[in-house]
Amino acid sequence: MSSSVARVVVVLVVLGLSLLVAAVARKVQRPVHPHITVGDAGDRPGVVLFTSTECGTCKKTIALLRSQAVAFREITYDLEPQRFDLWMVFAVPLCVVLDTDGAVIEVMSGVPRTRTLRRAIRRAGIVQV
């Protein structure tokens, strides 16, 4: 094997390993939230965002929802802690997308990816404003 072919193989292996590490790191950074129980919360259909006043990531999530023209209902722990108990929310920000029947379509911890958010809104049948 020539030295140039060996170099190409080494570069491809290093690139593949880098992509694998990046994919694993991305999964590790996003916390997985336990199952959400909607109950009779009166917040359906639509996007419900659980936040707290001291959460910088919550502000980023709100900015994303607004930039995507997504109408949402914000539930702040400081103002409505009982809803956190009702829905069993343990971390913020938590973005929950509900369809017209109140079924949970998607639960996104942290700042949601734009693509995931759009896909969930489409699946839920939510009209963007």
Q: What is the pLDDT of residues 78-100, one digit of tens each?
A: 999 998 888 888 889 999 998 88
* Global confidence as pTM: 0.68
What one-character DSSP code corresponds to residue 73?
E
Residues of the chain with confidence (pLDDT) below 70 = 1, 24-45, 128-129
Question: Which residue, among 109, 111, 92, 110, has the nearest Cα to 54 in the 3D structure?
Answer: 92
- Cα–Cα distance for residue pair 62/65, rounded to 1 Å: 5
| pLDDT (0 to 100) of residue 66 | 92
| pLDDT (0 to 100) of residue 30 | 52
Contacts with 31 (C-beta within 8 Å, 6 or more apart), sequence order: 91, 109, 110
| pLDDT (0 to 100) of residue 25 | 64
